[in-house]
């Protein structure tokens, strides 16, 4: 089995005055199709920087990021936009719905960027909203919905382009614990049912435990990797490759 | 992204900030309206001027006079620059010349119902006569009629006859009233020795009643180059004069060195008609080079239009300044909106919206501001133009007298091309003003979407 995402010796160095700050200090790991990965760490650990680089929102200082056999660290901004449009769904902490559009238009928006016609994209949006269980709220404006509902719209929007990878940046950060559980269950169900790959960033170890595999980041190093042994996809990877997914654990 | 979607997105963004959009559009409205109104004033004035020149006489006509600034007055040169039939033929041979008409002037005194007048009978060619605008009932004197007949200029009838004693102006209707014409006595006689005394000559003067062939169109207040003269066919006039003055041909003929009257006609003016207004200048120059003194209405029109062109530029410039201010307003609005929507733009970029689409979306927004402002501005311009024309027309007598244009026409004139230009220009101004903000939006980092406030 070939990994979908390959990261090798990834560095992100910020120059603050004359000091160099290592936000990410050489991490290497693989992610396979169908996995639900959680990158866990405290604030400032470099977990968000790592996610941003995987999504092509920030350029790495050094290192290799290969997604579906494409070197995204070598792409320019226009290519990255195109890459995201074709392959990547994104779930934000603060939902980031467009306030002037209703729910279904928000869901359909990424398809609009692809130039899909109005009718076709509304059909696709409707399908995913029903899949997620908010089919009845398609005409609501974002400010008429609760946080949990808005995040579901956000999830539907991430799914609508049929992406290979979904990135989620603290997707439950603004939700109460009850809704958090609902949303995480939903995300997990989507990943396993639809055979998606999801990379989620969180600071909360409890939330991270929903994932198939956790990468714990401290000061720019991956210090521990936790595999959920009961997860079907992890079992499958181990069976096929004879070893667990590659992840270089460094530091203390 | 589809153009339709871009357009809809831009429109909905504008709707979100109605007040600000409205105020920005208002700026464009004022800018567009001031440019259009200013230019329309310039155009209206120029049109009025053209019309008034056209009323006064043909713009394709050149008047040729004998030049009097001759240093070498040798006999030969003199003959060359005299306005003779030979020269008429020479002019006719020039390029672009359609027709040449000599004008033979005879001043006459007229008496009618106890009122007197002096005017000139001008013998001209059939072509010249055909250019005259007659009242409906009249007709042009035929070429080969035996008897002289006249076309009266309208001003002769309205403003030239005065009662001998009271100096009271009198109107004459030549169809009803009988006009007695007296031709001047010949101041040439072949035998100078026995010239008659003045009183004798006066006594001898015979009164003629000459039939009316027509009257120039125009009322009491219409003036033109032609309205103070009476017109006749030149050949008929020559025939008539020959009976009066015998060999002298005209009342005051030129004489050769030995005192004999010329045996050919020397005209006061020759009119040269050119095929097109644009060729007038060229023909005029050729005639001047031949040693004649020339002028044309076109010449005056051109210099007047040059001056008016300056006025137009100043007017347009004033309008332009207000549109410039509007453009800065658009830029300001777009900048504000980009700062407000930084996060939204970031989200769109994260979700895969092309950079060029983001730029175009903002260009559309500023372009729509320009378009709406342009359309509304144009409507305002038409309204202002209407008001100006209303005030300067007969309904606003006092204003029109102050401005000095009252003869029909409109002071403010918005042709279709100006309307189209105004709207396109407003869109262009909007897009140009929106370009810098749009590029800035395009270059915003998608990371803004991730940041949480």
Q: What average pLDDT is seen over chain B? A: 83
Cβ pair B283, B272 in contact under 8 A = yes
| Strands in B83-154 per DSSP E | 97-112, 115-124, 150-152
Among residues 90-149 of chain A, which lie with CB inside 8 Å of chain B? Answer: 90, 92-94, 96, 98-101, 109-110, 112-115, 117-118
Residue B268 near chain A (CB below 8 Å): no
Q: Are the CB atoms for A211 and A200 separated by under 8 Å?
A: yes
Q: Name the residue of chain A whose CA is nearest to B358's CA.
A: A113
Residue B239 pLDDT level (bands cut at 50, 70, 90): confident
- ipTM > 0.90, yes or no: yes
List A88's β-bridge partners, or say none. Answer: A165
Q: Is residue A125 part of a domain?
A: yes
User: Tokens at residue B226, please?
Assistant: 């032609």
Is A208 at the interface with chain B, CB within 8 A? no
What is the Cα gyration radius of chain A? 18
Report the percentage of chain B scoring pLDDT > 70.
88
Given pLDDT bands bounded at 50, 70 and 90, which one contains residue B195?
Answer: very low
Domain boundaries, chain B: 3-55+304-449, 61-275
| Length of chain A, in residues | 252
Closest CA to A47 of A172, A187, A202, A165: A202
In a domain, A25, yes or no: yes
> Measured between CB atoms, which of B1, B348, B452 is closest to A94?
B452
Contacts of A11 (CB under 8 A, 6+ apart): A22, A24, A25, A26, A60, A61, A62, A63
Q: How confident is the model at residue B197 (pLDDT cuts 50, 70, 90)?
A: very low
- Sole residue written with tokens 């589809």: B2
Q: What is the mean pLDDT of residues B162-172?
A: 81
Give A117's contacts in chain B (Cβ within 8 Å): 2
A57, A82, A98 ranked by CB distance to B350: nearest: A57
Contact B136, B147 (CB under 8 A): no
pLDDT-derived band at B263 (thresholds 50, 70, 90) equals confident
DSSP code, position B187: S
A48 burial via Cβ count (<10 Å: 0-12, 13-18, 19+): buried
Which CATH number goes with the domain that contains A10?
3.40.50.300
The pLDDT of residue B430 is: 94
Q: How far is CA B365 from the centre of its chain?
A: 43
Cβ neighbours of A109 in B, within 8 Å: 348, 351
Please report which confidence band the pLDDT of residue B129 belongs to, taking 50, 70 and 90 as the band edges.
Answer: confident
Smallest CA-to-CA distance from B234 within B106, B86, B88, B123 is with B123
Stretch B428-436: mean pLDDT, rounded? 94
How many structural domains is chain A composed of?
A: 1
Give CA–CA dist B181/B112, Å, rounded.
9
pLDDT of B281 > 70? The answer is yes
Contact A90, A158 (CB under 8 A): yes
Burial of B278 (0-12, 13-18, 19+ CB in 10 A): exposed
Are the Cβ atoms of B13 and A100 closer than 8 angstroms? Answer: yes
Cβ contact B351–A109 (<8 Å): yes
Note whether B324 contacts A: Cβ–Cβ < 8 A.
Answer: no
Q: What is the dihedral sign for C-alpha A32, A33, A36, A40?
A: positive
Minimum-distance CB partner of B349 among A81, A157, A173: A81
Find the largest Cα–Cα distance for chain B.
123
Cα(B164)–Cα(B111) distance, rounded to whole angstroms?
10
Q: Which long-range contacts (CB under 8 A, 24 or more apart) does A147-152 make?
A: A147/A95, A147/A174, A147/A175, A147/A176, A147/A179, A148/A175, A148/A179, A148/A182, A148/A183, A150/A95, A150/A97, A151/A91, A151/A95, A151/A175, A151/A179, A151/A183, A152/A183, A152/A186
Distance (Å, whole) CA B394 – CA B290 = 48
Report how far residue A163's alpha carbon sits from residue A85's, in angstroms, rounded to the nearest whole number.
9
Segment B30-47 mean pLDDT: 89
A250 domain residue, yes or no:
no
Question: Cα dihedral sign for B377, B378, B381, B387?
Answer: negative
B19 C-beta neighbours (distance < 10 Å), count: 7
Q: What is the pLDDT of residues B319-351, one digit of tens each?
A: 889 989 999 999 999 999 999 899 899 999 999
Can you read off the two tokens belonging to residue B336? 């504000």
Domain span at residue A210 reads 5-241
The residue behind tokens 């009476």 is B230
Confidence of residue B287 (pLDDT cuts 50, 70, 90): confident
Q: Measuring CA to CA, which residue among A201, A155, A223, A188 is closest to residue A35?
A: A188
Sorted by sequence, the CB contacts under 8 Å of residue B242 that are 6+ apart come out as B249
- Contact check, Cβ <8 Å, B450/A112: no
Q: At B406, list the tokens.
A: 């009252």
C-alpha count within 13 angstroms, C-beta hemisphere, residue B370: 29
**Separation of alpha carbons B339 and B444, rounded Å:** 10
Nearest to A73 by CA among A141, A6, A3, A152: A6
To the nearest whole Å, the CA of A185 is away from the closest chain B CA by 23
Least confident piece of the model among A26-30, A60-64, B131-135, B406-410: B406-410
Contacts of B449 in chain A (CB under 8 A): 92, 96
The nearest alpha carbon in chain B to A48 belongs to B450
Instruction: Give every CB contact of residue A229 below 8 A, 6+ residues apart in sequence.
Output: A235
Indicate if the pLDDT at residue B205 is higher than 90: no
Cβ neighbours of B445 in A, within 8 Å: 57
Tell me the count of A-B CB pairs closer than 8 A. 73
Closest C-alpha to A35, from A205, A239, A242, A231: A231
- Where does the pLDDT of residue B86 fall: very low under 50, low under 70, confident under 90, or very high at 90 and above? confident
Residue B352 sits at the chain A interface (C-beta within 8 Å): yes
Residues of A in contact with B15 (CB under 8 A): 100
Nearest to B5 among A57, A88, A112 (CB): A112
Of B344, B352, B447, the CB nearest to A98: B344
Residue A252 lies in a domain: no
> Beta partners for A222?
A217
Using a CB-CB distance cutoff of 8 angstroms, which residues of chain A are in contact with residue B13? 100
Tell me how crowded residue B139 is: count the other CB atoms within 10 A of its CB: 12
What distance in Å separates the CA atoms of residue A190 and residue A196, rounded to the nearest whole number?
7
Rounded Cα distance, B172 and B230, in Å:
14
Which positions 51-70 of A are in contact with B (Cβ < 8 Å)?
52, 55, 57-58
Whether residue B402 is predicted with pLDDT greater than 80 in this model: the reply is no
Chain B contacts of A55, Cβ < 8 Å?
Answer: 350
**Sign of the CA dihedral B143, B148, B154, B155?**
positive
The pLDDT of B277-288, averaged and rounded, is: 86
Any residues with CB less than 8 A from the CB of A177 and at least 6 apart, and which?
A: none
Q: Which parts of chain A register pLDDT below 70?
A: 251-252
Answer whether residue A225 is part of any domain: yes
What does chain A look like in DSSP terms, one character per residue? ---SEEEEEEEEEEEETTEEEEEEEEEEEEE-TT-EEEEE--TTSSHHHHHHHHTTSS--SEEEEEETTEEGGG--HHHHHHHHHHHEEEE-TT----TTS-HHHHHHHHHHHHT--HHHHHHHHHHHHHHHT-GGGTT--GGGS-HHHHHHHHHHHHHTT--SEEEEESTTTTS-HHHHHHHHHHHHHHHHHHT-EEEEEES-HHHHTTSSEEEEEETTEEEEEEE-TT-HHHHHHHHHHSSPPPB-----
């Amino acid at each position: 089995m070939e990994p979908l995402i390959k990261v090798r010796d990834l560095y992100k160095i910020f120059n603050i005055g004359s000091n160099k700050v290592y936000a990410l200090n050489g991490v290497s790991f693989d992610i396979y199709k169908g996995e639900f990965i959680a990158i866990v760490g405290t604030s400032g650990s470099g977990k968000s920087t790592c996610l941003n680089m995987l999504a092509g929102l920030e350029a790495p200082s050094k290192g290799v990021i290969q997604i579906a056999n494409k070197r995204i660290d070598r792409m320019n901004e226009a290519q990255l936009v195109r890459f995201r449009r074709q392959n990547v769904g994104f779930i934000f902490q603060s939902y980031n719905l467009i306030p002037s559009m209703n729910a279904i238009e928000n869901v359909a928006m990424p398809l609009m960027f692809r130039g899909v016609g109005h009718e076709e994209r509304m059909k696709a949006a409707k399908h995913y909203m029903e899949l997620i269980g908010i089919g009845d709220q398609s005409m609501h404006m974002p400010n008429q919905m609760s946080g949990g509902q808005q995040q579901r719209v956000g999830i539907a929007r991430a799914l609508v382009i049929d992406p290979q990878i979904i990135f989620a940046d603290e997707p439950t950060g603004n939700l109460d614990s009850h809704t958090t559980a609902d949303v995480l269950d939903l995300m997990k169900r989507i990943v396993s049912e639809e055979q998606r790959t999801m990379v989620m960033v969180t600071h909360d170890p409890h939330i991270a435990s929903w994932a198939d595999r956790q990468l714990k980041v401290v000061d720019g190093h991956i210090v521990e990797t936790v595999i959920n042994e009961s997860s079907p996809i992890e079992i499958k990877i181990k069976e096929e490759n004879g070893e667990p997914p590659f992840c270089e654990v460094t530091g203390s | 992204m589809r153009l339709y979607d871009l357009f809809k997105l831009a429109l909905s963004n504008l709707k979100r900030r109605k007040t600000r959009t409205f105020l920005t559009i208002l700026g464009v409205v004022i800018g567009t309206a001031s440019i259009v109104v200013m230019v329309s004033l310039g155009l209206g004035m120029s049109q009025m001027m053209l019309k008034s020149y056209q009323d006064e006489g043909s713009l394709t006509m050149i008047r040729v006079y004998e030049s009097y600034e001759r240093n070498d007055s040798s006999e030969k040169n003199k003959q060359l620059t005299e306005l003779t039939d030979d020269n008429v033929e020479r002019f006719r041979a020039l390029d672009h010349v359609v027709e040449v008409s000599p004008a033979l002037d005879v001043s006459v005194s007229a008496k009618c119902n106890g009122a007197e007048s002096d005017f000139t009978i001008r013998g001209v060619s059939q072509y010249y006569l055909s250019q005259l605008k007659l009242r409906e009932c009249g007709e042009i004197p035929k070429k080969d009629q035996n008897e002289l007949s006249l076309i009266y200029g309208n001003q002769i009838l309205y403003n030239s006859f005065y009662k001998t004693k009271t100096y009271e102006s009198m109107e004459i209707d030549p169809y009803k009233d009988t006009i007695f014409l007296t031709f001047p006595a010949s101041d040439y006689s072949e035998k100078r020795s026995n010239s008659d005394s003045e009183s004798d000559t006066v006594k001898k003067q015979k009164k003629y009643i000459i039939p009316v062939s027509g009257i120039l169109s125009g009322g009491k207040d219409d003036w033109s180059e032609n309205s103070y003269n009476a017109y006749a066919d030149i050949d008929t006039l020559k025939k008539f004069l020959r009976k009066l003055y015998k060999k002298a041909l005209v009342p005051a003929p030129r004489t050769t060195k030995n005192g004999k009257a010329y045996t050919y006609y020397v005209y006061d003016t020759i009119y040269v008609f050119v095929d097109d207004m644009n060729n007038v200048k060229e023909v005029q120059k050729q005639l001047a080079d031949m040693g004649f003194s020339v002028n044309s209405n076109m010449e005056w029109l051109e210099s007047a239009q040059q001056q008016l062109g300056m006025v137009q530029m100043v007017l347009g410039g004033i309008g332009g300044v207000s549109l410039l201010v509007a453009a800065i307003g658009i830029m300001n609005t777009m900048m504000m909106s980009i700062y407000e929507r930084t996060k939204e733009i970031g989200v769109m970029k994260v979700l895969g919206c092309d950079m060029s689409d983001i730029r175009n979306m903002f260009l559309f927004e500023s372009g729509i501001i320009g378009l709406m402002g342009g359309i509304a501005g144009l409507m305002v311009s038409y309204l202002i133009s209407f008001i100006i024309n209303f005030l300067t027309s007969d309904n606003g007598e006092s204003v029109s007298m102050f401005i000095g244009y009252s003869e029909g026409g409109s002071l403010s004139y918005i042709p279709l091309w100006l309307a189209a230009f105004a709207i396109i220009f407003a869109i262009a101004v909007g897009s140009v003003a929106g370009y810098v903000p749009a590029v800035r939006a395009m270059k915003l980092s998608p990371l803004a979407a991730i940041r949480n406030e």
